[in-house]
Amino acid sequence: MPEPPLKPVLQKPPGYKDPSAPAVKPGFRPPPRKPVLPPSFHPKKRRGGCCRVCCCCFCIFFLILILLLLICGAVFYLWFDPKLPGFHVQSVRISRFNVTNKPDGTYLDAQTTTRLEVKNPNAKMTYYYGNTEVDVSVGEGGDETELGTTTVHGFTMGKQNTTSLKVETKVINKLVDDGVGTRLQARYRSKSLRVSVEARTKIGLGVAGLKIGMVGVTVKCDGIALKRLDGGDMPKCVINMLKWAQHPLILFTCMKAPQRVESLIDETILQHFVSTLDCS
């Protein structure tokens, strides 16, 4: 039998509502679906806890290291009772001091011999000295004139030992101001001339056969009257370095610390350590 013809499907008119469909409450919207992101776009988890732990460990280690250094320094001070070396000017002899007036200026020829006494008052420590550069000058203020520079080779001072250093300097045809030359010559003849000695050296400690570091110091003996030296006086010189490092215990720390601590807290290593931490 022939099949009955199919009825055409009628389109729904605009605004048609299916009575069998569930009713939707007014104003209700289904929640939006979360977009699915590829793994490369997932946000990284914060690792602030790791950064804080590393920083705390480093700070604790640094504090413990400082505490150990302080304890070692205190034990060292109580056991060895360190004292700074002493410097005194024994004598200054000016064997030649000639001021010559020439048409082109005033010239000075001078030759000096200075003796410095160096003492080591420590009974349990030895001092090591590097090459010492010594400057000798005469006059004060604007009249101060250098009489030459010389270098004394390094030496070692034993326990409770005293050493005398001989320093010879000279200048030949040194040009000076006319007025300065005249005043210096007059003071030299009247023995009212004042002499200044400055020594720059490096000092190291020797403890129980071990040589500990070296630190640079400057020794100054300013404005010494020749009459005072002729009377047998031995003026004491001043050791100049950082004010906080003038105590023997701090001096020991300055000599010892660079060998132990500098490699641990070097700025380059510290920057590299911080750069490797991911604190994001």
- Domain final position from 40, 59, 80: 80
* Confidence (pTM): 0.61
Q: Are residues 200 and 66 in the same domain?
A: no
- Domain final position from 62, 80, 98: 80
Q: Are residues 69 and 171 in the same domain?
A: no
Q: Are residues 76 and 148 in the same domain?
A: no
In a domain, 67, yes or no: yes
In a domain, 270, yes or no: no
**Angstrom distance (rounded) from CA 108 to CA 144:** 13
In a domain, 36, yes or no: no
Q: Are residues 255 and 122 in the same domain?
A: yes
In a domain, 145, yes or no: yes
Q: 101: domain range?
A: 83-260
Q: Which of the residue ranges 28-37, 163-172, 225-234 would you say has the lowest mean pLDDT?
A: 28-37
Residue 205 forms beta bridges with which residues?
127, 212
Under DSSP, the state recorded for 172 is E
Q: Are residues 63 and 99 in the same domain?
A: no
pLDDT of 46 > 60? The answer is no
Task: Band the pLDDT of 51: cuts 50, 70, 90.
Answer: confident
Whether the Cβ atoms of residue 129 and residue 155 lie closer than 8 Å to each other: yes
In a domain, 210, yes or no: yes
In a domain, 34, yes or no: no
pLDDT of 251 > 90? The answer is no
- Domain final position from 40, 61, 80: 80
pLDDT digits (tens, 9 = 90+) for 142-187: 889 999 999 999 999 988 999 999 999 999 999 999 999 999 999 9
Compute the average pLDDT of residues 194-223: 89
Q: Are residues 71 and 88 in the same domain?
A: no
Q: Are residues 64 and 180 in the same domain?
A: no
pLDDT higher at 49 or 273: 49
Whether the Cβ atoms of residue 119 and residue 85 lie closer than 8 Å to each other: yes
In a domain, 9, yes or no: no
Q: Are residues 64 and 172 in the same domain?
A: no
Q: Are residues 175 and 143 in the same domain?
A: yes
The Cα-based distances of 92 to 154, 168, 240 in angstroms read 22, 10, 22
Q: How many residues does the chain have?
A: 280
In a domain, 124, yes or no: yes
Q: Are residues 56 and 158 in the same domain?
A: no
Q: Are residues 124 and 72 in the same domain?
A: no
pLDDT at 194 (0 to 100): 92
Q: Are residues 70 and 185 in the same domain?
A: no
pLDDT digits (tens, 9 = 90+) for 73-92: 788 777 777 788 999 999 99
- Return contacts of 212-218, CB within 8 angstroms, 24+ apart: 212/252, 212/255, 212/256, 213/254, 213/255, 213/256, 213/258, 213/259, 214/128, 214/130, 214/255, 215/241, 215/245, 215/251, 215/254, 215/255, 216/241, 217/241
How many domains is the chain partitioned into structurally? 2
pLDDT at 41 (0 to 100): 55
